[in-house]
Amino acid sequence: MLCTMERSTDAVLGYKMSGDVTRADFQTLNPAVEAAIKANGSISLLFDLTGLHFEKASAWGSNLDFGKKYGDSVEKLAVVGDKGWERHVTKLAEPYYAKEAKYFDTDDDAWAWLTS
C-alpha cells in the first residue's frame, strides 16, 4: 500500500509504503508524479520503506517503467528504511530513478536533505 505523506509539497513528494506494493499503487503514484513534474519541471521524492513487506511481482514492470519515464525529472530521491537491503537498493536507484539518491534512517533527516 502506498500513502502520501503529510509533509509533501508541490515539488517534494513523500510516500510511505506498507504491506505489499502492487501495480495499483503505481497507478496512483504515476499521475501524482507526472502532475508535479509538469507543474515544477523537476521534483524530489521520498520513499519510506520501513513498513514495506514485499513488492508483488506484478508491480516489477511498473516499477521499472516508473524509473524509465520519470528518472530524468527527479532531482533527489530519499529512501528511508530499517533493513540492510534498502541501503543497497538506494545505491542502485541512482541514476536510473533520480539524479541523486540517498539512504536515511529517519524521515526527518530525509526531508531535511530533500528541502535543502
- Concatenated DSSP letters for 101-113? EEEESSHHHHHHH
Mean pLDDT of 89-109: 92
CA distance 114 to 116: 6
Which pLDDT does position 51 carry in this prediction? 83
Q: Tell me how far apart the alpha carbons of residues 93 and 64 are, in angstroms, rounded to a whole number.
A: 10
- Residue 55: what pLDDT? 64
Tally of CB atoms within 10 A around 100: 14
**Would you say the pTM of this structure is higher than 0.75?**
yes
Lowest mean pLDDT among 52-61, 66-75, 105-114: 52-61
10 contacts 39 by C-beta, under 8 angstroms: yes
Predicted confidence at residue 41, as pLDDT, reads 97
